[in-house]
Each structure stands twice: as structure tokens, then as C-alpha cells.
């Protein structure tokens, strides 16, 4: 790695692993230690050490298996008051999803084909061209100041055929 890349990586490692080099990725540790003593990393290293001390002293190392089991058992035994807009989640056995029989991917394919046909129909009827022409006409005949959004729309439509007669803005 180049020196600049190593410095960028050191910032990432300090944020992800903390200031203790033994926590850093072993294959990068030597390169990172070479630049860690530079003056530009003193503050970042100090902050990472302070955060390490706080996290190490917090005792948030996880929970025992017994505690996790007791919490899950208590949650399962407690009746839940579900409102009208809540659907109860029933755990299912792990395994592959059941295969759909008969139709396969036909519903998805039919939906895509319908959207394609709708797009072709809209494009063929000139419905969109008429709408764009109306927007352009409204912008051209406007007597009030034009907003930035309207100006951006007008500029985007420059050179686009928006009339049924083939006229260009």
C-alpha cells in the first residue's frame, strides 16, 4: 500500500478496532504501526484509547445462555395484545421455501408483459407528448416569474419533440 492508503486505512482501523494493535488485522498491523506514531494520528489514537477504556469498563460483553433462554421463555409465555393492525408472526421450521406448483413465475412474467404493453400503448398514442407540450406551452405563456424547478424542466425539454406535429422546442 502507498503511504496515503496506509494512513487512510489506519483511520478506518482505529474507528473499527480501536487503539490496541493486538485487535487490528494481523496482516496489516506492521504497516499500520509504522504510521501510527505520526503527529497527525496522535489525536485519533487518543480518542480511540479513550473509547476503548469506556467500552472495556462497561461490562457489555454479552449475556449468558441462561439469561437469553429465560428472556425468550418469558416473552413466549407472556400473552401479547395485538391490535387490529398487527399480524402475529408464527415461527416456521427452517428449511427451503416451498416450491410453487403449476404457475411458476407466470404471474411475474405476466405483470412485466402488461407493463411493456402499457408503455408501448402510451408511447404510440402520443399521450405523453401531448402532456409535455402542455407543460411547455404553460411555461412559455406564463406572466409570473419562473421558479428554478420550472426553469430546470424547461431546459431539460429543450430539443425534445413534444408536439404531435413534430415541432421541437
Location of C-alpha cell 483511520: 11
Please, which pLDDT band fits residue 113 given cuts at 50, 70 and 90? very high
Number of residues written out for the chain: 169
The DSSP letter of residue 168 is B
Q: What digits encode the pLDDT tens for the residues 34-53?
A: 887 788 888 888 888 888 88
Q: Looking at residue 42, what is its pLDDT? A: 81
Mean of all residue pLDDT scores within the chain: 76
The predicted model gives 116-137 an average pLDDT of: 76
Query: What is the distance in angstroms between the CA of the first residue and the CA of the last residue of the chain?
Result: 54
Q: What digits encode the pLDDT tens for the residues 40-95?
A: 888 888 888 888 888 777 665 566 778 878 888 888 887 766 667 666 666 666 66
C-alpha angle with apex 132: 130 to 138, nearest 5 degrees? 100
Q: What digits encode the pLDDT tens for the residues 133-146?
A: 677 777 667 666 66
The DSSP letter of residue 163 is S
The DSSP letter of residue 143 is -
Q: Looking at residue 115, what is its pLDDT? A: 94
Q: Dihedrals φ, ψ of 96, to 5°?
A: -65, 150
Q: DSSP letters of 147-161?
A: PHHHHHHHHHHTT-B
Q: Looking at residue 166, what is its pLDDT? A: 53
Do 45 and 19 touch, CB atoms closer than 8 A?
A: yes
How many Å apart are CA 14 and CA 52, to the nearest integer? 10
Per domain, the residue ranges of the chain are 3-57, 107-157
Q: DSSP letters of 106-151?
A: HHHHHHHHHHHHHHHHHHHHTHHHHHHHHHHHHHHT--SPPPHHHH
CB atoms within 10 A of CB 82: 9
Amino acid at each position: 500500500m502507498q503511504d496515503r492508503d496506509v494512513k487512510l486505512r489506519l483511520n478506518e482501523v482505529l474507528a473499527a478496532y480501536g487503539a490496541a494493535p493486538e485487535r487490528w488485522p494481523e496482516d496489516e498491523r506492521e504497516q499500520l504501526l509504522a504510521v501510527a506514531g505520526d503527529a497527525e494520528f496522535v489525536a485519533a489514537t487518543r480518542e480511540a484509547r479513550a473509547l476503548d477504556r469506556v467500552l472495556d469498563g462497561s461490562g457489555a460483553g454479552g449475556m449468558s445462555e441462561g439469561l437469553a433462554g429465560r428472556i425468550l421463555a418469558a416473552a413466549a409465555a407472556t400473552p401479547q395484545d395485538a391490535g387490529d393492525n398487527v399480524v402475529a408472526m408464527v415461527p416456521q421450521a427452517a428449511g427451503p421455501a416451498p416450491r410453487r406448483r403449476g404457475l411458476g413465475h407466470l404471474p411475474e412474467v405476466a405483470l412485466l408483459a402488461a407493463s411493456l404493453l402499457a408503455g408501448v400503448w402510451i408511447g404510440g398514442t402520443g399521450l405523453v407528448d401531448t402532456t409535455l407540450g402542455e407543460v411547455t406551452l404553460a411555461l412559455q405563456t406564463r406572466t409570473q416569474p419562473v421558479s428554478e424547478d420550472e426553469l430546470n424542466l424547461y431546459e431539460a425539454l429543450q430539443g425534445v419533440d413534444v408536439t404531435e406535429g413534430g415541432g421541437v422546442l
